[in-house]
Each structure stands twice: as structure tokens, then as C-alpha cells.
Amino acid sequence: MSENKCPPSKPCKKGAPTWMVTFADLMSLLMAFFALLYAMSSIDPFKFQQVATSLQSVFGDQRSSILEFDGTTLIELNPDSIVENDQKENERFQEIVERVEQQFEREQNVQIEVDPDALTVTLTFQGEALFPSGTALLMPEFRRQLMNLSFLRDYQELDLLVQGHTDRVPLNRGLQYRTNWDLSASRAASVGEFLLDQGFIQPRSLRVEGRADSMPLSAEGDFANYHLDRRVQVIITEQ
């Protein structure tokens, strides 16, 4: 039987066990702990399982650990976890992207931009067939294009932002709208009201903005490309 070794100034109690945690052991445990925290916060189940397997090897038992219970990982034990929720959200967003691309694949004057990090799809409608000059009345061709957004009825957890944009040319006096700010806001509102009337979106999920010429695509003085600035953007965001 091995003897307990205690400091001379502090006698050992009879039968008291002795143990020692080295600095290397402490660092290993801390590393495993922070790796576990990282794995649990990751949205990638495959990476989570990789880290879990590595930690099981470190702890010396590949069949049981704090990451696994009866062969079931924490991801499976908690279906409402952040990992699972993020997976479902990403899958739903990808489905929305596919439906947008399918509905607008034949539209020549509609550009689609996808931001997977912000879970946002931006549709940019351009061309002379949006509104008659100086008005906010939807032209028949533009109405037809907007009907492609009917699939939005199938998704309740969406935010929709409609932005109206104009070129730099000031409006003539005596027209219905005083400035390009007024005109762009009215055009955005016309699109939003059309989508509401069709039942594509709920009022609580809709916002409209008039941006006038504050976000131009053409250079100042490049009159040949001012038509690029006259556009409407419909921005779909997953909540």
C-alpha cells in the first residue's frame, strides 16, 4: 500500500486520499469543455458529431459520454434545439429561393439576388412597363409579373419590404406628385396594396419605402442609363 505524502506543516488525516491534477490535465479538460460549447452552438450537425466522436475518444469511452445517451446524440434528444431550428429555417429559406427562381425564370426584366446569411431574397423589377411616366399606376405587364408572388401565401413567417426608386430627373411642376420622394413612396405603396388585395401577404408583414434617387445604379449625368434607376424592389426576408 502506498503512503500518503503530506506537507510537514499540515499533517494528513488518517485515511485521507491524496490526488493531484497537473496543469496539462487541467488544460486538456478546459479544451474539451470549450470544444463542447462550440459544437453545441454550431448549426452544422455533421461537425457536431465529429467533435462528439473526438471527445468520446479523449474520455476513453466511444460508446457513452455526455454527448450521447443510449446511442442518441443531443441533437436527436432535443428536436427543438438551436441546431434543429436553424436547420429547418435554412431548409425553408432554400425552398423559398427555389420557388422564386422557378416563378421568375422567364422574366427578362426581373433580377434576383440571394443573401443566405441574412435569409433575404431581393427581386428588382425594372423597365418601362412598370408605371406610366410620373404616375404610381401599375401597368398590366407589371401586374402580371407581381402575380408570380402568389406562392407567398404558403409562408406565414415572412417579412416583405417594397422599395420604390426613381432617377435624378426632378418632376415637373403641376404633376400629381411634388417630388421624386413622393412619387417613389406612392409607387411602393401601390405595389404593397396590390399584394395585400391579392392576399399574398398579411398587413403585419408588409413595409413600404420611398427611396427617390438616393440609391442610384447609374452615374450622375449618364442619362442613357437613368432607366436603371427607375425600379421597384421587393425584399423577402425569413423571420
User: Tens digits of per-residue pLDDT, 152-192?
Assistant: 999 988 999 999 999 999 988 767 899 999 999 999 999 99
Does residue 223 have a pLDDT over 80? Answer: yes
The reported pLDDT for the residue numbered 90 is 87
- How far is it, in rounded angstroms, from Cα 128 to Cα 132? 8
Q: What angle do CA 216, 220, 225 make, to 5 degrees?
A: 70
CA distance from start to end of the chain = 66
pTM confidence score: 0.65
Helix or strand holding residue 91 (H, E): helix 82-104
DSSP type of residue 215: S
User: Between residues 157 and 34, which one has the greater pLDDT?
Assistant: 157
Name the pLDDT band for 64 (thresholds 50, 70, 90). very low
CA–CA dist 123, 50 (Å, integer): 39
Pairwise CA distance, residues 167 & 73, whole Å? 56
Range with the lowest mean pLDDT among 9-18, 62-71, 81-90?
62-71
- Give 69's strand partners: 72
Q: For strand 68-69 and strand 72-73, is the pairing parallel, antiparallel, or unpaired?
A: antiparallel
Give the model's pLDDT for residue 63. 46
CA-to-CA distance for 200 and 130, rounded, in angstroms?
19
